[in-house]
Amino acid sequence: MSTPIRTVLFGLAGMAALAAAGCGGGDSGTDPGAYPDPDPLVLDTTGLLPLPETPDNPLTVQGVELGRKLFHDPILSGDDTQSCASCHDQAFAFSDHGLQFSIGIDGSVGTRNAPPVINLAWARDFFWAGRAKTLEDQAVQPVPNPIEMNLPWDQAIPKLAAHPDYPAMFGRAFGDEEVTQDRVVKAIAQFERTIISRDSRWDRKQRGELMFTDPEKRGEQLFFSERGDCFHCHGSVLFTDNQMHNNGLDMVSADPGRFDVTGQEFDRGKFRSPTLRNIELTAPYMHDGRFNTLEEVIDHYSDGVQDTPNLDPLLLVPRPPDDSPFTAQEKADLLAFLLTLTDPVFVANPDYGPPGP
Amino acid sequence: MSRRILALAAVGLPLAFAVGCGDESSGPTGPGTLVINFDHMVDGSMLQLNTGSYMNAAGNTYSVGNLEYVTSHFHLHPEDHDDPEFESDEPHYRTEADASTRSLTLTDVPAGSYHELSFVFGIPGADNVPGAYPGLDLDGMAWPNVPPMQGGYHYMRCEGTWDAGSGGFLTHTGPSMGMDFSFEVSFDTDVVISTGETTTVTLYMNVNNWYANPNLYDFMDHDGPIMGNTATQLLLQQNGGDVFSIASVTTE
C-alpha cells in the first residue's frame, strides 16, 4: 500500500473514531446535550384494555422514574411540605386519607373530594367536572393553585433546575437537562399512567384463580343487571364509563359541576363517574365526599335519588320488576361485590411508592 | 447491414409499442376513498341533544340526552357481479355528542361502479363477543357479561326524557339474552369510486322511525329497561328497517 493511501485511511479511521466518541452512547454527565434516548416502557395491562397511545408523551423508563420522584416530592409546593402524594396516598388507592376535602399548604380547604389515581391511562377527562382533557393538563393545575400546593410555575422551575439530581433526571428522560413546566407535567403524567389496578379479587375470579362467595356472586349479578344497573355508569373492566352524569344528589346543586366547563344548563350537577376499583379504600364518596360509607352510597341509589333537573335518564326509569328499593339482602350482596374490587397488589406495589434514596 | 437493421426493427418496434403504449382507453388505476357520514334527524329537523323537543308517533313528547350506536360490516356491491365486493367489517362508533365520530373513512376502495351499499346496524352475533373491540369498551358500549346476558356490545343507546321530563327512556338495543338482533341496512344506490378521489355518502338516521313503523312504540308501554326484553328488542329490530336513508352521494 502506498504511503498517501495509508495516510488517508488512518485519517479516515481517526475521523470515524472521533465521530463515534462524540455521538450517542454512554452517559456524558458533564455534557447536558449528550443523553441517549430514553428506553421505551411497555406495561402489562392483561385483563384491562390496550393502553391508549400517547404519541406526544410516550412512556419511557426514565420518564416514569422522573415522574415518580416528582409525584412524591414536596419541592413542588410553596413551603416544601406538600407533594402530589400528600393528597393522593397509595394506601388509600391514591385518594386523601379519608378526608372529605384536601387541605392546602396554607390550611385552605378544597371544594371537592380528591379523586383517586387509578387506571387514569384510560380516562378521557380529569377532575370531577372534566376541566382537564389530559393527564398532562391535570398536572398543571394543583401546583400553582393557592388552596393546594401554592407554588407558581415560574418559581417551581428554578427550584427543580437548581436541585442536585433533577437536571440529570430531566436529561435522561428528555435528552437534555432543560427543566420546563411541560416536561414536569409530562413526567408526572407518565408515572400516573403506570398506576394500574388489575389484581383485585374480581380480576382473579375473572382469570379463574378463585371463586366468588355466594353473596359476591349475587352482588355481581345485581351490579350487572337492569335492576341494579350499576354497570351503565360503572361498567367495563375499568368500572367507569368516564362519562358525566347527574345522579340525583340535590334538587338544587350547590356545585355546578360540568356546567362550569361547558356553560350548558343541561350539564348542571353532572360529574364524572369515578372508578369503583378499590372503592373500599377511597371514602368518602361523591364529588363532595358527602357519603362516608358504601352503605350510604347504596342507600342513595336504592331509594335516595332526587328527581333533580338534569337527572340522568338511567336513574329516571323504574327499577324492574316493580320499582322497589333494594332489599336488605340485595344491599349486602352489592356491598360484598364492591369489596371484591379492592386490589391489595396495587396498594402495596413498591413501584408506585416514593423512590429510594 | 440492411438485414441487421430490418431484424432489429422487427424485434424492436413491437417492443417499443408494448412498453410505450398500454391500453389507450385506460386512465389512472388504483383505489379511491369512501366516506360515510352519519347525521341524525327527527322528522326533518336536525337532532339537538338535550334542548330539542320532539313528538313520536305515539304522541310522546321527548328529548334526547344521549344517542350513540355501532355499525359494522360495510359492503359495496358492484354492478358486475363478477367483480369483487368491497368489505370492511370493523365497527364504527358514532355518538351525537362527539362530532369527530360523524364520519367513517374507508380507504383503498377499488375504483369502480357499485350499485349497492350495505352495513349492519350493531355487530352480528359471532363477532359480538366481550373484549373484541376495546375501543367500544372505552366508549361505554359493553353489554353485561353475566347470565342471562352473554356480553358483547350494545348496538345503540338512545336515552332521554319524556312527558316534560317526568319519565325517562332507555332505548338500548343489543344481543339480548345472547340472541342476535342486529340487522342489515341496504341501499340500492350508485356509488362510483374513482382513483385518488373521495366519494362521500351522507346518511340520515331519523330517530322517530325507531318508534313508528311497523310497530308503534309508546314510551308508556316501554318505560323501563328493555335490554333483557327480547320481545321489545325484536320490535325495535323490525322498526329499524326505515330508520336510515341516503341524503346525498358526492365525489370530489
Cell of B49: 341533544
Only one residue has cell 350494545, namely B154
CA distance readout (Å), B79 to A314, B112, B115, B119:
46, 9, 5, 17
Closest residue of A to B220, CA-based? A317
Closest residue of B to A226, CA-based? B225
pLDDT at position A12 is 43
A29-46 residue pLDDT tens: 455 568 999 999 999 999
Upper half-sphere CA count for residue A246 (Cβ side, 13 Å): 28
A229 inside 8 A of chain B by CB:
yes
Q: Which residues pair with A270 in a beta bridge?
A: A257
B52-85 residue pLDDT tens: 999 999 999 999 999 999 999 999 999 877 777 8
pLDDT at position B24 is 45
- For residue B162, list chain A residues with Cβ-Cβ distance below 8 A: none
Cβ <8 Å between B50 and A264: yes
Phi-psi sector, B43: left (phi>0), alpha (psi -120 to 50), beta:
left
- For residue A221, list chain B residues with Cβ-Cβ distance below 8 A: 146-147
pTM for the full predicted model: 0.88
Question: Exposure of B161 by Cβ count < 10 A (0-12 exposed, 13-18 middle, 19+ buried)?
Answer: buried
CA distance readout (Å), A230 to A49, B147, B225:
20, 16, 13
- For residue A317, list chain B residues with Cβ-Cβ distance below 8 A: 167-170, 223-225
Please answer whether residues B162 and B168 qualify as being in contact, where contact means their C-beta atoms are separated by less than 8 angstroms: yes
Residues 135-194 of B with CB under 8 A from A: 137-138, 140, 142, 144-147, 149, 159-161, 165, 167-170
- For residue A125, list chain B residues with Cβ-Cβ distance below 8 A: none
Question: How many contacts does A have with B, using Cβ atoms within 8 A?
Answer: 73
Please answer whether residues A148 and A137 qualify as being in contact, where contact means their C-beta atoms are separated by less than 8 angstroms: no
CA B152 – CA B137 distance, rounded (Å): 9
Cβ <8 Å between A236 and B159: no
CA A203 – CA A79 distance, rounded (Å): 41
The backbone torsions φ and ψ at residue A132, rounded to the nearest 5 degrees and listed phi first, read -120, 140
User: Mean pLDDT of residues grouped by 10 in chain A (357 residues)?
Assistant: 38 42 42 84 95 96 98 98 98 97 96 97 96 97 97 98 98 97 98 98 97 98 96 95 95 94 96 98 98 98 93 94 96 98 98 91
CA A139 – CA A144 distance, rounded (Å): 10
Cβ <8 Å between B146 and A316: no
pLDDT at position B20 is 43
Quick one: how far is CA B47 from the chain centroid? 18
CA A242 – CA A350 distance, rounded (Å): 27
Amino acid at B248: S
What distance in Å separates residue B147's CA from the closest CA in chain A? 8
Cβ <8 Å between B146 and A313: no
Closest residue of B to A50, CA-based? B134
User: Residues in chain B with pLDDT < 50?
Assistant: 1-25
Q: Choose the mutation target among A314, A316, A334 for the interface with B, i.e. most B CBs under 10 Å.
A: A316
A50 inside 8 A of chain B by CB:
yes
Kindly provide the b/e burial profile for residues B113-145, where b requires at least 16 CB atoms within 10 angstroms of the residue's own CB: ebbbbbbbbbbbeebbbbbebbebbbbbbbbbb
Closest residue of A to B162, CA-based? A313
The backbone torsions φ and ψ at residue B144, rounded to the nearest 5 degrees and listed phi first, read -55, 140
pLDDT at position B114 is 94
Bridging pattern class, strands B32-42 and B198-206: parallel
A203 inside 8 A of chain B by CB:
no
Please answer whether residues A67 and A187 qualify as being in contact, where contact means their C-beta atoms are separated by less than 8 angstroms: yes
pLDDT at position B14 is 43
- How many other β-carbons are positioned within 10 Å of the β-carbon of residue A249? 22
What distance in Å separates residue A1's CA from the closest CA in chain B? 49
Q: Which residues pair with B156 in a beta bridge?
A: B69, B173
Among the partner residues A122, A229, A266, nearest to B138 by beta-carbon distance: A122
- How many other β-carbons are positioned within 10 Å of the β-carbon of residue A56? 10
Note the helical H segments in chain A.
3-22, 61-71, 84-87, 135-140, 153-161, 166-174, 181-194, 201-206, 214-223, 231-234, 259-262, 294-299, 313-316, 328-339, 344-348
Cell of A183: 416536561
Please answer whether residues B250 and B199 qualify as being in contact, where contact means their C-beta atoms are separated by less than 8 angstroms: yes
DSSP SS3 for B202: strand
Please answer whether residues B236 and B173 qualify as being in contact, where contact means their C-beta atoms are separated by less than 8 angstroms: yes
Q: State the DSSP H helix or E strand holding residue B66, giving kind and residue range, or none if neither.
A: strand B61-78
- How many other β-carbons are positioned within 10 Å of the β-carbon of residue B147? 11
Q: Which residues pair with B37 in a beta bridge?
A: B103, B202
Cell of B40: 341524525
Closest CA relative to residue A328, chosen from A299, A351, A353: A299
CA A181 – CA A70 distance, rounded (Å): 12
A133 inside 8 A of chain B by CB:
no
CA A314 – CA B163 distance, rounded (Å): 16
Closest CA relative to residue A48, chosen from A225, A192, A195: A195
What distance in Å separates residue A152's CA from the closest CA in chain B? 35
pLDDT at position A34 is 82
The radius of gyration of chain B from alpha carbons, rounded to an integer in Å, stands at 25
pLDDT at position B28 is 58
